[in-house]
Chains A and B, each alone.
Chain A
Amino acid sequence: MMSLLEIRNLSTYYHSRRGVLRAVDMVSLSLDEREFVGIVGESGCGKSTLAFSIMRLIQPPGEIVEGEIIFSGKNLLELNDEEMRRVRGKEIGMVFQDPMTSLDPLEKIGDQIVETIQMHEDIGKKEALEKARELLESVGLPGNRVNYYPHQLSGGQRQRVMIALAIALNPTLLIADEPTTALDVIVQEKIMNILKKMTSEGRSIILITHDFSLAAEKSDRIVIMYAGWIVEMGDSKKLVNDPLHPYTKGLLESVPDLWLERRIKTMPGLPPDLVNPPPGCKFHPRCPKAMDVCRKEEPPEVQVNGRFVKCWLYGV
């Protein structure tokens, strides 16, 4: 099967006064149609930069320095600005963490959705407004919310409006960057169910989150990022039941879980400074299984029982 999205050797750097920060460092990843992928990592691991790179929303001092992003057969990095603008929204939608900063406070919800639709499609205002109502209803909001201003809605309702906006042009891929981080669990569950339902309607979802258990529960496949690298990637259940990379294992053991009876384990150290990352494997200073080779050479990327892992433990 042809994949919907294929990222090959993508590197995105930020140029800072201290030097070059390798936020995304030679990352390869593919996504199938109707697939729900969760990208998990801590702040600064490059997960949001990866999402912004796919959307080509990286602003200076950031820069995509190499790689390919093949979406529906075309390399997004080779499109001109006008072509890319048409891809955004229409083919790839995005939901951000903070709905209040992404909505115009002075414009009614309905008008904002209508504007988005009319920007890309040649339809009348009345028709577009009707579509806006339907969109709101599809994310579980009453259609009359088109007449509301953003401040009249709760955080969860606003985030649902953002999702409605993101799918207004019927994109095949939706990227959700920490969509529920600012929200309570009950609202989170509702929003996740809406996203989940979209995959059965033919969409693919990339969920970016720091919440490992949320990604484990909702996504088909999990991608674990650390310091700009993908360190492990595979089927959610298998990855959680049998983590291969020491970072994945450490992360799993450090997360409090409602239903697991266990103490949590502390992971030593801090994530590295990406301007001066440690040599060899970037995780080696925190790794309980670090060997000599880990301190010197970058780990190989290997497949173990259909699972991708970047670690010397499974090296050749």
Chain B
Amino acid sequence: MEIIKVEGLKKYFPVQKSFLEVLFSKELQFIKAVDGVSFTVKKGEMLSLVGESGCGKTTVGRMLVGLEEPTEGRIYFKERDITSLRGEKRREIQRHIQIIFQDPYASLNPRMKIGEHITDPLLIHGIATNEEAKRMAIEMLERVGLVPGEQFYNRLPYQLSGGQRQRVAIARAMVLKPEFVVADEAVSMIDVSLRAAILNLLMSFKEEYNLSMLFITHDLSVAKLVGDRIAVMYLGKIVELGEVNEVIHKPKHPYTAALLSAVPSFEKRDLRVGIFGDVSNPIDLPPGCRYNPRCPFAKDECRKAEPELIGTDRHSFACHYPLDIVVE
């Protein structure tokens, strides 16, 4: 069953004009942060969304949880269109859709007790009375490894380490037993030796609740570890999407292959697909395939027509001349 379905999602941010530009009524320009993205997340599935900074992956996540309004496109939660739901109806849905942010120093209120971060959502959604909420919060704190829960309940964020704070953020998202969770770079700021514990914790919740997740990360190694499927984004579009082993071992898009070539590893593979220059300007995209100026394989066609994301559920890609390689 599809928990989340996204169709032709777009988000354009207007570029601030200078006084002179207003004076000469220069045309309003847009940064095309997300420029037509479609995918589904099935029940119990972890979809990893990878890409470099500025590719639009975070904006996709924020639109899914309602923090950002799409410019165009539709978002369905269990076949119900939630794109423009507001107010009470939105809140009702929101209970089932949660987000974990990257920075555990910014996502907790420094004046609020740890416990209140977790009881708040329960009270807001009218799921529990004060006492029940407190009991549930303590249980949840212990579940995420903050033992004894009663002690952690009364602490303030500054008394916790980064790893412990991220556990609180996870507890806050999970206490509502959501059906869909967006984790936006949830381990990027966590120290190496503690990262594994957080990842294992997230995966254990996924198993236990049969949770569906969108795991947003810049780190392909993490994406591969946690994901059932991977979507690779470049400049606002998904360029490749498929089952983890398909995408990692048989990359079709030259961008995916370039990323794979650059990821450091203890057992580096002999994969050397190059890439030219720097990321293009998202305001002024090149004609044709938006990757063509950086692609070592670009041909005439690539400069004219923009490729569509085509293929099967198992593996699809947006490239006129897909690669035919296997990385063991």
Q: Which B residues are in CB contact (< 8 Å) with A251?
A: 192-193
Query: What are the interface flags for B169-199 relative to A under an 8 Å C-beta threshold, 1 for contact and 0 otherwise?
Result: 0000000000000000000000111111101
Q: Which B residues are in CB contact (< 8 Å) with A212?
A: 192, 266
Q: Which A residues are in CB contact (< 8 Å) with B49?
A: none
Q: How far is the CB of B220 from chain A (nearest CB, A)?
A: 6
Residue pair B192, A258 in contact (C-beta under 8 Å)? no
B195, closest chain A residue (CB): A254
Residue pair B193, A264 in contact (C-beta under 8 Å)? no
**B63 close to A (CB within 8 Å):** no
**B263 close to A (CB within 8 Å):** yes
**A178 close to B (CB within 8 Å):** no
Known contacts A251-B193, A265-B196, A270-B194: does B220 contact A258 (CB below 8 Å)?
yes
Q: How far is the CB of B230 from chain A (nearest CB, A)?
A: 11
Q: Which A residues are in CB contact (< 8 Å) with B260?
A: 258
Known contacts A185-B259, A260-B266, A264-B199: does B278 contact A154 (CB below 8 Å)?
yes
**A213 close to B (CB within 8 Å):** yes
Q: Which A residues are in CB contact (< 8 Å) with B265?
A: 213, 217, 257-260
Q: Which A residues are in CB contact (< 8 Å) with B52?
A: 184-186
CA distance A271 to B163 in the complex (A): 11
Name the one of A186, A210, A214, A258 contacting B224, with C-beta atoms under 8 angstroms. Answer: A258
Q: How far is the CB of A170 from chain B (nearest CB, A)?
A: 28
Query: What are the interface flags for B281-301 relative to A under an 8 Å C-beta threshold, 1 for contact and 0 otherwise?
Result: 000000000000000000000
Residue pair B269, A264 in contact (C-beta under 8 Å)? no
CA distance A280 to B324 in the complex (A): 56
On chain B, the number of residues with a Cβ less than 8 Å from chain A's Cβ atoms is: 36
CA distance A119 to B197 in the complex (A): 49
Residue pair B191, A210 in contact (C-beta under 8 Å)? yes
CA distance A64 to B203 in the complex (A): 44
- Interface hits, B197-231 → A, CB 8 Å: 197, 199-200, 218-222, 224-225
Q: Which B residues are in CB contact (< 8 Å) with A277?
A: none
Name the one of A157, A218, A258, A267 contacting B221, with C-beta atoms under 8 angstroms. Answer: A258
CA distance A251 to B52 in the complex (A): 25
Known contacts A184-B218, A217-B268, A258-B224: does B262 contact A267 (CB below 8 Å)?
no
Q: How far is the CB of A136 from chain B (nearest CB, A)?
A: 15
Q: Which B residues are in CB contact (< 8 Å) with A184?
A: 52-53, 218
CA distance A251 to B192 in the complex (A): 8
Name the one of A42, A157, A240, A267 contacting B266, with C-beta atoms under 8 angstroms. Answer: A240
A41, closest chain B residue (CB): B192
- Interface hits, B235-265 → A, CB 8 Å: 248, 258-265
Q: Which B residues are in CB contact (< 8 Å) with A188?
A: 262, 264
Q: Which B residues are in CB contact (< 8 Å) with A254?
A: 192-193, 195-196
**B128 close to A (CB within 8 Å):** no
Q: Which B residues are in CB contact (< 8 Å) with A154?
A: 278-279
**A99 close to B (CB within 8 Å):** no
Residue pair A185, B262 in contact (C-beta under 8 Å)? yes
Q: Which of B259, B266, B278 has the most CB of A within 10 A?
A: B266
Q: How far is the CB of A54 from chain B (nearest CB, A)?
A: 23
Q: How far is the CB of A44 from chain B (nearest CB, A)?
A: 8
B220, closest chain A residue (CB): A258
Q: How far is the CB of A281 from chain B (nearest CB, A)?
A: 16
Q: Which A residues are in CB contact (< 8 Å) with B278?
A: 154, 156-157
**A29 close to B (CB within 8 Å):** no
- Interface hits, A202-241 → B, CB 8 Å: 210-214, 216-218, 240
Name the one of A214, A255, A266 contacting B197, with C-beta atoms under 8 angstroms. Answer: A266
B219, closest chain A residue (CB): A256
Known contacts A42-B193, A256-B225, A259-B268: does B220 contact A185 (CB below 8 Å)?
yes
Q: How far is the CB of B188 from chain A (nearest CB, A)?
A: 10
Residue pair A213, B193 in contact (C-beta under 8 Å)? no
Q: How far is the CB of A191 from chain B (nearest CB, A)?
A: 11
Residue pair A256, B199 in contact (C-beta under 8 Å)? yes
Known contacts A258-B248, A264-B196, A266-B196: does B266 contact A186 (CB below 8 Å)?
no
Q: How far is the CB of B195 from chain A (nearest CB, A)?
A: 7
A180, closest chain B residue (CB): B264
CA distance A42 to B161 in the complex (A): 14
Known contacts A184-B53, A264-B225: does B263 contact A258 (CB below 8 Å)?
yes
**A285 close to B (CB within 8 Å):** no
Q: Which A residues are in CB contact (< 8 Å) with B262?
A: 185-186, 188-189
**B275 close to A (CB within 8 Å):** yes
CA distance A49 to B86 in the complex (A): 51
Q: Which of B196, B199, B220 has the most CB of A within 10 A?
A: B196
Q: Which B residues are in CB contact (< 8 Å) with A260?
A: 265-267
Q: How far is the CB of A23 from chain B (nearest CB, A)?
A: 16
Query: What are the interface flags for A267-306 relative to B under an 8 Å C-beta threshold, 1 for contact and 0 otherwise?
Result: 1001100000000000000000000000000000000000
**A67 close to B (CB within 8 Å):** no
**A143 close to B (CB within 8 Å):** no
**A3 close to B (CB within 8 Å):** no
Residue pair B192, A210 in contact (C-beta under 8 Å)? yes
Q: Which A residues are in CB contact (< 8 Å) with B193?
A: 42, 250-251, 254, 267, 271
A265, closest chain B residue (CB): B196
**A252 close to B (CB within 8 Å):** yes
What are 20 A-B pairs with beta-carbon distances under 8 A? A184-B52, A184-B218, A185-B52, A185-B264, A186-B262, A210-B191, A211-B192, A213-B221, A216-B264, A217-B264, A217-B265, A251-B192, A255-B195, A255-B266, A256-B195, A256-B199, A257-B267, A258-B265, A259-B269, A260-B265
Known A259-B265, A270-B163; 10 more pairs at CB < 8 Å: A42-B191, A154-B278, A185-B264, A186-B52, A217-B268, A240-B266, A255-B196, A256-B221, A256-B225, A257-B221
Interface residues of B (CB under 8 A from A): 52-53, 161, 163, 191-197, 199-200, 218-222, 224-225, 248, 258-269, 275, 278-279
